Structure 1
């Protein structure tokens, strides 16, 4: 397993912005309502001091949270229990109350600093998907620099990320050999497993309570996937182990190659061959169909979350191009990152998916379900075909304008289903998209106008393969989620019954 500020400048020669972390930067520096997409809810506002309830009586979304299980309990028991909630510090608290809170917090972290009672385990235990807790005191003190500095341990940075040092141990079993990547939820490192005598990938979650909560939901989902598909026929990554180390939840996975996005970047964003697109698409739809059969929506499908099992490749030189290109020897993939996965009958966050793969129903505020995953699949397949993201933007109105330019006008029936707030925000007059408007920049107007529509991108008249591929994409990228093709139906599309030779040329 591996992990991966303004709006990037677009030119005709550069397929991607120069910043390799531009997608993550969009979340950090974009609009406040789009910065971090996680399923758990924010902390409730603490009640006034004179009516504050003890921690055992604080209610969260849809459930009551009990007291924290003592640290002597096993990890499996901790996963099923609620987390300790330190009493929030009121804005009108006296200096004496703040001092008491600091002492409490220091004691809390001291409990987690002592990891002698913890051990690595494999568990089948599950947490409730409605598990919600207030953000921990660690974040509550972020506005007070003196208090913040007092509670940061020397193995964490100011954002709660674990400071990775090559050669250090994560428990007595795992030794860190290198860092593979970093994301919103934490870091991924390669470690040597002294028990199995092999290398593994370990996802180290940030020591921030909301990310710890989300990781427990992810563990629950991963356990479900492993239990329902022990042979891993459906290409979803399997959780091998998990443990809590220095207040960081650590999840252990098999070590795979790079992500599809990383391979695209290393290959100068050259498109994938047609036969490889077909194989990757089939595996991806198979994984999505499996998730949907479990009533689970991934919500964050993108090339960064699709890993190559083996990223070995051969170099091909072409007379038509000065640069040589890489071609994969094996296109077997695994779907990863279930931190935002949501069961269909549970709480749905209003905003999901990374911007470029976000379905229109999410932007329009119409609610979302399984179909939002299929829209993301369509965007991914176009990206594999062209080498560049279909919708490169981080602003809702511009995103909708790009959709209309590539796919045609948004149906009136969807606009009528929107709330008045969203209608006035994005549409004007007779349900026309409010783009461009007085606030639209010249650069945005020029870029949207330069986009090609889908038929110009795929050029289906050139071959039977392209024709079938275009037909599949049309059904994946339908505006109306109720009309969008399902994953099971997509797997039966004629596109997947076409054959290629060893060089990737279509045979029949």
Structure 2
């Protein structure tokens, strides 16, 4: 620990960990993030392996009762060796949190249930991953809304207007507004993601454009009850070839204890608690 303190001494006067009164997070330096990723420079294996790693990371969060709530290309770091890391947990929260704020997730990756204030669960992250997956392939934002109202319009113009049962849990005001919008039929995933935009694939491989489209089609589903969950997505043929039990299940971690967020300690108490 004091080796870290010596490193940080470049910026601070403290000589040892005992002298510190601030918290410093020292994290692994990544080579870049997925906003700089271009599928044209990679093959189907890279694309599939990237999605597998993202799904594994989110799976670990969800098993611990944590929702990331801000998954987007710039919050996914990568190394030149193709390893992926989830970044920026500033908006993350416990799934059982008493207050699930509505204005979370960067707009273009925000799930319908968050946009409409209908309450949300962990699979709001799956919607975001589907948007990221699509963007890695096309290099274009799947739902490029200019504001939260336009965001909904952009969504239904692609995946289609949901059936009336979806509106049942919404407020009368929201329901009335949504019913006033034009009806949109869903676009075919083949037209959105034609074979020609994918990297080549090997014959008899599961890493095909058809399998990639199939996985994408199960992720940005408006009704969260019909949306694929992370574990099932990991078992999808497009990513399952990478499956390793120790990576998917990982070491057991206890559910996140959100009571720690409400505890007020002085600096010395925190230091004794976590540095002892």
TM over 0.5: yes
The question of whether the paired residues in 2 share the 8 Å contact of 1:358 and 1:376 is answered with yes
**Higher percent of residues as helix:** 2
Alignment partner, residue 213 of structure 2: 470
1:73-130 Cα distance to aligned partner (Å, 9 max, x none): xxxxxxxxxxxxxxxxxxxxxxxxxxxxxxxxxxxxxxxxxxxxxxx77xxxxxxxxx
**TM-aligned CA deviation for residue 291 of structure 1:** 0.3
User: Which residues of 2 match residues 334-483 of structure 1 at below 5 A?
Assistant: 334-346=85-97, 347-428=99-180, 433=181, 453-459=188-194, 465-483=208-226
How far residue 424 of structure 1 moved from its aligned partner, in angstroms, is: 3.0
Quote the residue 1:493 is aligned against. 236
Deviation per CA, 1:145-173, whole angstroms, max 9, x where unpaired?
A: xxxxxxxxxxxxxxxxxxxxxxx942147
Cα RMSD (Å) of the superposition? Answer: 3.2
Change (3 A) 1:342 1:169: same
CA distance in 2, matches of 1:332, 1:395: 33
- The equivalent residue for 2:29 is 255
Unmatched 5+ stretches in structure 2: 243-276
Structure 1, gaps ≥5 residues long: 1-119, 122-167, 175-194, 196-242, 311-329, 436-447, 500-508
Partner Cα separation in structure 2 for residue 302 and residue 353 of structure 1: 8
- Counterpart of 1:303 (choices 73, 89, 103) is 73
Normalized per residue, the structure richer in strand is 1
Task: Give the number of the structure with larger relative contact order, counting CA–CA contacts within 8 Å between residues 6 or more apart.
Answer: 2
Residues 44-443 of structure 1 correspond to what in structure 2 (within 5 A)?
A: 169-172=10-13, 250-261=24-35, 263-264=36-37, 270=40, 272-310=42-80, 330-346=81-97, 347-428=99-180, 433=181
Cα deviation, residue 476, structure 1:
1.0
- Give a deviation string over 1:223-253, Cα, whole Å, max 9, x none: xxxxxxxxxxxxxxxxxxxx655xxx54221
Give the distance between the partners of 1:489 and 1:366, measured in 2 at CA: 24
Pair 1:244–1:427, CA change in 2 (3 A) = farther
CA contact (8 A) 2:55 2:233 kept: yes
Seen in structure 2, the aligned counterparts of structure 1 residues 251 and 423 have a Cα distance that, compared at 3 Å, is same
Query: Cα gap change, 1:173/1:380 in structure 2, threshold over 3 Å: closer, same or farther?
Result: farther
Per the TM alignment, residue 452 of structure 1 is displaced from its structure 2 partner at its CA by 6.5
The number of residue pairs the alignment matches comes to 225
Cα deviation per residue 1:264-301 (whole Å; 9 max; x = unaligned)? 3xx6x857532211000000000011000001100000
Q: Structure 1's 244 and 254: CA in aligned 2 closer, same or farther, altered over 3 A?
A: farther
For normalisation by structure 2, the TM-score amounts to 0.72
Deviations 1:2-25 (A, max 9, x none): xxxxxxxxxxxxxxxxxxxxxxxx
TM-score, with structure 1 as normaliser? 0.40
Per-residue deviation, 1:407: 1.2
Q: Larger Rg: 1 or 2?
A: 1
Secondary structure in structure 1 of the residue aligned to 2:27: strand
For residues 306-333 of structure 1, give each alpha carbon's deviation from its aligned partner in whole angstroms, at most 9, with x where no partner exists. 11133xxxxxxxxxxxxxxxxxxx2111
